[in-house]
Structure 1
Amino acid sequence: MGWRGILGFEYGIVQAPLGPDLSCPELVAAVANAGGLGLLRAPDWESPDHLRELIRKTRTLTDKPFGVGVVLAFPHQENIKAILDERVAVLQVSWGEITEELISEAHQAGVKVVPQIGSFEEARKAVEVGVDAIIVQGLEAGGHVIGKDGLITLLPRVVDLVGDQDIPVIAAGGIVDERGYIAALALGAQGVCLGTRFLATEESYAHPTYKRKLVEFDKTEYTNVFGRARWPGAPHRVLLTPFFKDWKNLPIHENETNQPVIGRSTIHGMEKEIRRFAGTVPNVTTTGDIESMVMYAGEGVGLIKDILPAAEVVKSLIEGARRLIHQRFNGEI
């Protein structure tokens, strides 16, 4: 079954690289120590020395393997070099083209490459260049969503594409509990990748107000209101907060560049101003009008009722899935 592990990890549970810095070493190490695959998030600018510090700090908290997520839409060459030099277990990439050269360099360093894709065509290209696994992200996912297809239709198509090749397929998008996990396995996935559920954990670097909203609110919307200037053409799914309800019909010509500063934050060691409609989520250092900042979340947010330790999230997924299969399917799918 999927809980028996993928890519050499004990369980088929992946903690998404929550950005820009919400996947802190404490969260990643907690997931790794619980038997899952935890993913740090590389900065959205070249900062190899800082990234090395994150990797090395994580290694002081766990002796288990883990990975780093890189958004290819932003400057990344020096960051990837640092990741390969540090020989982390997994390089997870998204929002960009994966080349055979990158795969070769990673494999020479003993690093597995796992892209997150949002379309069948992306998946086909990933298989052709020889990736080690594929994360299939459905439109239900929180944060920046590259595809337009729902998970229940896209996932089995990618599973069929992979066929009997040794490329695990991992499901992402709206999954927060054992029911979503079992559904993904039934569609052919060998593991699941969770973002919003791990965001709502004790270890994540998200601001306490952000975490509280993940428990309080149960609706999301797919939009392009936030971060239009910094990352154009990158729609995203956010919590339906009062601020977003008031501004969800923002004219298309408006963006964050001419908006007032509503807060400040230290992100990957750099001091940043946060303007209204910026796509910057609040972390624990953020000050200002937190309620008016973007809060990414997937469609499964309504199933999140509390803030848990990350290890408990992993444990509940595994034990809940085993119990559900035994009760509903007599031990079989």
Structure 2
Amino acid sequence: MGWKGILGFDYGIVQGPLGPDISGPELVAAVANGGGIGLLRAPDWESPDYLRELIRKTRSLTDKPFGVGVVLAFPHEENIKAILDEKVAVLQVCWGEFPGELVLKAHQAGVKVVHQVGSFEAAKKAIHAGVDALIVQGLEAGGHVLGQDGLMALLPRVVDLVGGRDIPVIASGGIVDERGYVAALALGAQGICLGTRFLATEESYAHPVYKRKLIELDETGYTNIFGRARWPGAPQRVLKTHFFNDRGHLPEHENEVDQPVIGRTTIHCMEREIRLFAGTVPNVTTTGDIESMAMYAGQGVGLIKEIIPAAQVVKRLVEGAQLLIKQKFLAETV
């Protein structure tokens, strides 16, 4: 096992399940081949046969273990059954409680359960349910944000809560380089989960304009203007694009339903219209007014300067963190 490996993987580097389909088989396989934990994103509707195809396509690209992320706020029972039938290494869940009996089913199938939480109370419930690891998401994270606490305040509290249990704590939110990795380790984490950094890779399924904006822009906004009808009560962190700066306000009684159509896309083989303020991020199939669509990103986006292969992200994180610890910390103890 390599440096800081968790859950049987080489490294403590987790690629977040970028939705709705940005982390497809190519990205997940690239991360897995690099020694990290790659996570597919399950559809937000029941589609077990299609999900099996995704899993099998990923297996055709890597002989390494990987996982699937499921948002519990959406229909998921048949999808989870497919995941357990396929015996992937990891089932990652978020936005909801994962009952103990489902954890037991996963364990009976040989699948480890990783629960992403955004609060101390949610961490308590997940530990009680018997999960194998926790992803602790801070307010700095991109996309839909679970809680209101910053990572530096929340992470050590959850680490103390876990105590001596064999439950790795994985830090998420604003981390993009080795400095963030080492900081998370100093706070007690055993691994890190990155979304935005893996979004800005060659293998991610994000639209080229979206990727370019991740390099060009360095500020984010925390808002609830996108996707209110589809996913109420789920605020998000997005890039401060020209659209967001000019139109980043929507009266509380309004949502995307009555807004004009600004594009079309295919998500998990389903063709869909994209309305203004829909919150649908542009993938490579998306057409229309791309720059007026939601572009999720974490606060660390200003540190991302180039689009690189996903395996190189893993390599830089691991080697950079090793070197940083050796040069800045171990040297001082000699």
Same fold by TM (over 0.5)? yes
Which structure 1 residue ranges, 5 or more long, are not aligned?
Answer: none
1:238 aligns with 2:238: yes
Whole-angstrom CA distance in 1 between matches of 2:146 and 2:329: 34
Q: What is the SS of the residue equivalent to 2:271?
A: strand
Change (3 A) 1:163 1:331: farther
Whole-angstrom CA distance in 2 between matches of 1:332 and 1:279: 48
1:197 aligns with 2:197: yes
Q: How many residues get paired? A: 333
Tell me which residue corresponds to 1:58. Answer: 58
Q: What is the SS of the residue equivalent to 1:330?
A: helix
Tell me which residue corresponds to 1:80. Answer: 80
Whole-angstrom CA distance in 1 between matches of 2:232 and 2:249: 17
Post-superposition shift, 1:4? 2.5
Tell me which residue corresponds to 2:6. Answer: 6
Change (3 A) 1:6 1:332: farther
Tell me which residue corresponds to 1:127. Answer: 127
Change (3 A) 1:182 1:169: same
Residue 91 of structure 2 aligns with an amino acid whose one-letter code is L
Residue 44 of structure 2 aligns with an amino acid whose one-letter code is D
Give the TM-score normalised by structure 1.
0.99
Change (3 A) 1:331 1:37: farther
Cα deviations by residue, 1:138-194 (Å, 9 ceiling, x for unpaired) = 000000001000000000000000001000000000000000000000000000000
Identity %: 79
Residue 263 of structure 2 aligns with an amino acid whose one-letter code is G
User: Is 2:4–2:191's contact at 8 Å kept on the other side of the alignment?
Assistant: no
Post-superposition shift, 1:201? 0.1
CA RMSD of superposed structures (Å): 1.2
Tell me which residue corresponds to 1:69. Answer: 69
Tell me which residue corresponds to 2:285. Answer: 285
The aligned runs of 1:300-319 (5 Å cut-off) are 300-319=300-319
Cα deviations by residue, 1:223-246 (Å, 9 ceiling, x for unpaired) = 000001110100000000010111
Whole-angstrom CA distance in 1 between matches of 2:171 and 2:2: 11
Whole-angstrom CA distance in 1 between matches of 2:154 and 2:141: 13
Residue 152 of structure 2 aligns with an amino acid whose one-letter code is I
Cα deviations by residue, 1:83-108 (Å, 9 ceiling, x for unpaired) = 00000000000001110111010000
Residue 63 of structure 1 aligns with an amino acid whose one-letter code is D
Whole-angstrom CA distance in 2 between matches of 1:163 and 1:220: 34
User: Is 1:2–1:185's contact at 8 Å kept on the other side of the alignment?
Assistant: no
Whole-angstrom CA distance in 1 between matches of 2:77 and 2:127: 22
Q: What is the SS of the residue equivalent to 1:3?
A: coil
Change (3 A) 1:4 1:250: same
Tell me which residue corresponds to 2:269. Answer: 269
Post-superposition shift, 1:28? 0.2
User: Is 2:3–2:11's contact at 8 Å kept on the other side of the alignment?
Assistant: yes
Tell me which residue corresponds to 1:170. Answer: 170
Post-superposition shift, 1:332? 8.1
